[in-house]
Amino acid sequence: MKLSCLVFDVDGTLVDNANLIIRLFQEVVLKYLGKKMSKQDVISLWGPPGDEIFKNVFPSNVLTPAWNEFLYQYNTIHPTKGFFSIDQLNDMKEHVQHLTIFTGKSRKTMQMTLEKLGITQIFDMVLTGNDVERSKPYPDALFRIISVLNLNKAEILFIGDSPLDVIAGKAAGIKTAAALWGTIEESKLIASQPDYIFKTPEELMHFVSKQ
């Protein structure tokens, strides 16, 4: 497979913070709504960006303080080391023309994540759930990446840890890869039938280096 562009998901793919997000969301729901949510309950909400999810879950009288508290805690305890170092990402850029991001995250949390990991300047294009009318599992952001960068669909690989990533990639007509190293939905991810399955970041890097 000739590769000209890698599209990365973020949470669970570039950084090990999926469980952190779930826990923080559970804590904020408990504090402001007085109810407990299971891990699966939280995962079932994923797709839209975080600020939209909060609007759907929290009434208007507590929406702003709940969202601000989530952002504060997220920024405070966010990991400073991702699954890939800057050097490793740059190594992959030697084999493909573009590294890009499509995440369902909000623009606000995306900026926090890139800054915490120190990889803000690595990616040629970054699209979040706030940047498109329809986020995952819809392929809108992928179509925009293809159009803006003038890419050949056959030379793109979308790497993600969620079935939503695979669904979006297939809908866009591009190849997909399952990032097993950070997924919290391994069986569902595999069942979504990605084109490639990588158990570790090193397996992906080896694959890219051979293109």
pLDDT digits (tens, 9 = 90+) for 60-70: 999 999 999 99
pLDDT at 52: 94
For residue 182, give both structure tokens: 């950070």
Check residue 47 and give its pLDDT: 86
How confident is the model at residue 116, as a pLDDT? 96
| Positive/negative CA dihedral, 178, 175, 39, 28 | positive
Q: What is the pLDDT of residue 178?
A: 98
Q: With contact defined as beta carbons under 8 Å apart, do 58 and 35 qualify?
A: no
Res 122: pLDDT: 95
- Which of 51, 16, 20, 22 lies closest to 37 in space, CA to CA? 22
What would the pLDDT profile of 157-171 be if each residue is shown by its tens digit?
999 999 999 999 999
The Cα–Cα gap between 173 and 32 comes to: 42
What parts of the chain have a pLDDT lower than 70? Answer: none
Specify the pLDDT at position 3.
Answer: 95
- If we measure between CA atoms, which residue out of 78, 82, 26, 19 comes closest to residue 53? 26
